[in-house]
Amino acid sequence: MASTNRPICFVVPPYLLNAISVSSENEASIRESALSALNFHKSYCTKREKRFAALTAPRGLRGAAHPTQRGIVPESMLKHIAESTEVDEYTRSCAKRDLEHIQNVQVKYQQAQGLQVKTATTSDAVEGEGKKKPDTETTYRAVYDAQNDANEENLPGKVVRVEGQKASGDEAVDEAYDNAGLVLKFYKDIFNWQSIDNKNMHVVSSVHFAKNYENAFWDPEIAQMVYGDGHTFLTNFTGCIDVIGHELTHAVTEYTSPLDYTGQSGALNEHVSDVFGIMVKQRVQNETADKADWLIGEDCIMPGVKGVALRSMKAPGTAYNDPRFGKDPQPDNFKDYEEVETDNGGVHMYSGIPNKAFYSAAVAFGGYSWEKAGKIWWETMQSGQIPPKCTFLQFADVTVDKAEELFGEEAATIIQKAWAGVGVVRKTRT
């Protein structure tokens, strides 16, 4: 039986938090804050590992039931949207439609159980007699305020803004709402992928998590984004479109080719999120591959830090070098790969190796990164050929094959050279 372990991904890697927590260059309060975030990371992952280890559903099966395939937006919220005067008529009508659908499903379920229930409403009956429902449902965004509560059991918190409502005036709320929309638009426009699961799954976010919490993460169990406000060195998580793209892509990965979050497959999991996160950023900024900076999380770094970002896809290992942070430990070549016990086998550290391969391929193709390189990576994740414990070499093999299928022999050669450039040498092609 394949593992169901899906630890939570945090955008700030544990090795960076650890470096801040132990550096004598930092004040005691800063070290304590970083240590608190690091301990939360460890305890949360341990709890979720035990949770998912207890599950028995096989992973990696295309079309298999997913634990988060449920109505994330509750009936009460749909009712609120349907009746709100603060949203437009189209959004109200969509919410009303989906609310009626939920209620009808509940009625049918109760009837199947032999319970006496109220019959369908007049509007339901009319719809059942021939009124055609829209072909697609609406993806609802909802942003909550965690109110600096560090207890994850109390998530999502207090609802602040839901689909169709105007800006709330809370910068973090509005950034989380708007930037999630940009990520969803990218997937829809470029890859014809609807929301996270291609079935218009609703997207929920909580901001202001804990006090001075220097991180953001996607929680796969409750299927939502969680953002801290940051502190001395790291902040502005809701304002970093690549960070949001990265985290939401972890959810998309679960619905395409789930990759075990450990060792090489875990590093590929992180890599895929960086790839799609950087493409979202480049599209928003209208940058071609050769003009882009290829920095992940550059807007998270506070002024005064000797560094430019959390990671560099173009030059892994060069994102920062600060006595309060340590030096960026990412290698850029597979020859420097070593098995480690920390960070789930180095998933954040070694993602730099495939990251550089993607960067090299995108620049070699020219134009926008999503036109060819991104298309190849997307089709690779859709191929059904990526096993949960995929190695770098296995992943490279599929990308080369997909490049040839999509764009021909020359494209396959470009991809092969990109992988060879980071020490991942493909087997002889047949």
Sign of CA dihedral 114, 120, 126, 132: negative
Q: Cα separation of 218 and 249, whole Å?
A: 9
- Tell me, yes or no, whether 415 and 267 share the same domain: yes
Closest CA to 400 of 7, 371, 385: 385
Q: Where are the beta strands (DSSP E) in 114-248?
A: 141-145, 158-162, 203-207, 216-219, 224-227
96 is in which domain, residue-wise?
75-128
- Tell me, yes or no, whether 119 and 265 share the same domain: no
Question: 111, 128, 145: which is the final residue of a domain?
Answer: 128
Listed in sequence order, the DSSP H helices in 12-166 are 14-22, 28-53, 75-83, 89-112, 122-128
The pTM score is 0.76
Nearest 5°: the CA angle 4, 10, 16 is: 130
Domains in the chain: how many in total? 2
CA 124 and chain centroid, separation? 37
Closest CA to 348 of 7, 15, 35, 6: 15
Distances (CA, A) of 166 to 138, 374, 394: 17, 33, 47
Question: 87, 106, 128: which is the final residue of a domain?
Answer: 128
Q: Which residues contact 390 (CB under 8 A, 6 or more apart)?
A: 257, 259, 264, 265, 268
Residues 66, 255 contacting (CB under 8 angstroms): yes
Closest CA to 395 of 405, 385, 382, 404: 385
Q: Is 194 among the domain residues?
A: no
Closest CA to 26 of 209, 215, 234: 234
Q: Is 378 among the domain residues?
A: yes
Q: Is 229 among the domain residues?
A: no
Residues 200, 139 contacting (CB under 8 angstroms): yes
Q: Is 396 among the domain residues?
A: yes
Q: Per this entry, what is the length of the chain?
A: 430
Q: Give the pLDDT confidence score for residue 50 in this predicted structure.
A: 43
Q: Is 23 among the domain residues?
A: no
Distances (CA, A) of 286 to 213, 283, 327, 371, 376: 31, 5, 31, 13, 20
Q: Cα separation of 418 and 396, whole Å?
A: 9
Average pLDDT per block of 10 residues along the chain, 430 residues long: 45 69 79 72 51 37 38 49 73 69 49 44 35 55 94 90 92 97 97 94 93 83 87 86 93 90 92 97 98 94 86 96 86 96 88 98 98 98 95 97 98 97 76
Provide the annotated active-site residues: 247, 348
Q: Is 388 among the domain residues?
A: yes
Domain of residue 287, CATH code: 1.10.390.10
Q: Is 22 among the domain residues?
A: no
- Tell me, yes or no, whether 121 and 264 share the same domain: no
Give the DSSP H/E element, type plus range, for residue 295: strand 295-296
- Tell me, yes or no, whether 271 and 416 share the same domain: yes
CB atoms < 10 A from the CB of 336, how many?
Answer: 15
Q: Cα separation of 333 and 343, whole Å?
A: 19
Q: Give the pLDDT confidence score for residue 239 in this predicted structure.
A: 94
Q: Is 369 among the domain residues?
A: yes
Residues 239, 61 contacting (CB under 8 angstroms): no
Q: Cα separation of 306 and 82, whole Å?
A: 49
Q: Give the pLDDT confidence score for residue 179 in this predicted structure.
A: 97
**Residue 49 carries which side chain, given as an amino acid letter?**
E
Q: Cα separation of 388 and 9, whole Å?
A: 16
Exposure class string for 118-137: b at 16+ Cβ within 10 A, else e: eebeeebeebeeeeeeeeeb
- Tell me, yes or no, whether 267 and 405 share the same domain: yes
